[in-house]
Amino acid sequence: MSDLGFRLSQALSAGRVDRWKPDTRAEVLFRLLLKRAAAQRAGLVEQEAALRDQIRWSLPMVTTSDAPEE
């Protein structure tokens, strides 16, 4: 998939009437991981980097107040 193909697929996705809405963060992460893998296979370095940033952002963060007590 070329850079142009990637942009066209994004445009098609943005124009769909029935847009997908995730129920959980896990669903968002799952889709991002699939898209990143596809970008990597296609050699789309910039898109893969952007997806990696989105994946990092979507990961749940554990703060010290959330950590289990020993």
Domain count across the chain: 1
State yes or no: pLDDT of 45 exceeds 70. Answer: yes
Structure confidence at residue 34 (pLDDT) = 93
The reply to whether 54 falls in a domain is yes
* Domain assignment present for 43: yes
Q: How far apart are CA 11 and CA 6, in angstroms?
A: 9
Model confidence, pTM: 0.59
Residue 49 structure tokens: 């980097």
**Dihedral (CA of 7, 47, 36, 43) sign:** positive
Q: Give domain status of residue 50, yes or no.
A: yes
Containing structural domain, residue 54: 23-59
Residue 68 lies in a domain: no
35 within a domain of the structure (yes/no): yes
Per-residue pLDDT at 63: 67
Task: Write the pLDDT tens digit of every residue in 11-44.
Answer: 767 665 566 677 888 888 898 999 999 999 999 9
SS3 assignment, position 65 = coil
What pLDDT shows up at residue 33?
A: 93
